[in-house]
Homo-oligomer: A and B are copies of this chain.
Amino acid sequence: MKIYKNIPRSQWPELCQRPRLQTGDLDSIVSEVFDKVKTSGDEAVKAFTRQFDKAEITSLTVEPKEWKKDAEVVLSELKNAIFRAKKNIETFHKAQLSQGFSVETEPGVQCWQKSVPVEKVGIYIPGGTAPLFSTVLMLAVPAQIAGCEKIVLATPPNGEGKIAPAILFAAQITGVDVVVKAGGVQAIAALTYGTESIPKVDKIFGPGNQYVTAAKQKAQTEGVAIDMPAGPSELLVIADETAHPAFVASDLLSQAEHGTDSQVVCISDSLEFLESVNDELEKQLQNLPRKEIARASLKNARFLFSSDKIETIGFVNAYAPEHLIIVSRDEEFYLKNLKNAGSVFLGNYSPESAGDYVSGTNHTLPTGGFARSYGSLGVDDYVKKISFQRISPKGIQSLGRNIETMAKAEGLDAHARAATLRLAALKNEKL
């Protein structure tokens, strides 16, 4: 472990670099798949599923019968955990519902705003070795709370053409309307254009590998919105000697086991503490099932010694971590000066994995420095805020001249006349 000591600000940009995967020519593959799905619909999605997922699919959606039966095999311990997570996620996300507001900006000028649900949303759940049912909860619960009319879940089938029971169970209890057996670029293309059996949606949510990420970018140019730019996961821990090295190491490994491109950062004002964390990392790595991934990811890790808390929080804000754990005597100072982070965990007993699963906060968060501009995913991402206004004759008589003046100064005479005509008409009317 190399420890960077009191690094000067000039070196921050380099230390804030995230690992980048080599990506080939994604754009041409994405374009090809999009074109084929657009023109051939279901047939194309099935063909790509055969090619990429090695699965032969007859129906691209999960039949209600299959859905219910398969979900039944989920063990009751897991079912209970999922129910509890759902309840807490609901509590935290219901508190985000906005009531809208109405103001009279001038006499006779009433303006208001209302949150209206995005009608059709697509949620993408990556495939792989384990079923990411927690992401179903994180993406479908806010959709349900927002009042979205149609929730379409897409996830790649396994070799037998099946979807994991835990995903079907989570989908069932969170109001998902359609489960699509397709993943990768072809799934995003199908949600973008719609096919015979897959509904077109208005916005696509969810994580994925670089192909899915590139496909979501393409979807945006085709008129479908996306949640946020996705990237490898990351965790930054600020800890002093009030923290348990074993706990911190376990949190760093939770992050490191996600993928070889994950990044973990640990900042402390104690060199001894950093050394203890390192020892703990070695110990805990020994019998970790995903130790190869975690070890590779730890090559991207940064251990920083910082004796100045102003510099510490300065670096954190420059890095803008997705997850931030703070276990420190100076917690209050850090909270006060924190500008950029996705989700923050405080104290020794708030592991990141609590927020990943059951505490109630959302685990869909900005990565790669996007925490400077994006926050945590929430109900607001499933609604749009529509503005309304009603201007009375008195209101337009009061504002009309200003509209004329400003419109003319911008060279937009038709804009001015829309006011002028109304002012003239009112002159001839008794109000």
Contacts and interface: CB of A to CB of B under 8 A. Distances in A.
A216 to B, nearest CB: 12
A165 to B, nearest CB: 10
Given A118-B373, A130-B411, 5 more contacts: A106-B360, A115-B375, A225-B370, A353-B415, A355-B389
Interface residues of A, number: 130
Contacts of A414: 250, 253-254, 256-257, 284, 288, 290, 294
Interface string A190-219: 000000000000110000000000000100
A67 interface: no
A360 B111 CA distance: 7
Contacts of A113: 95-96, 376, 378
A182 B294 CA distance: 46
Residue from the set A341, A403, A414 with the largest chain B CB neighbour count within 10 Å: A414
A134 interface: yes
A254 B418 contact: yes
Interface stretch (A1-9, A77-85, A152-160): A77-85
Contacts of A395: 349
A1 B208 CA distance: 49
A415 B356 contact: yes
A360 B156 CA distance: 47
A316 B87 CA distance: 37
Contacts of A129: 411
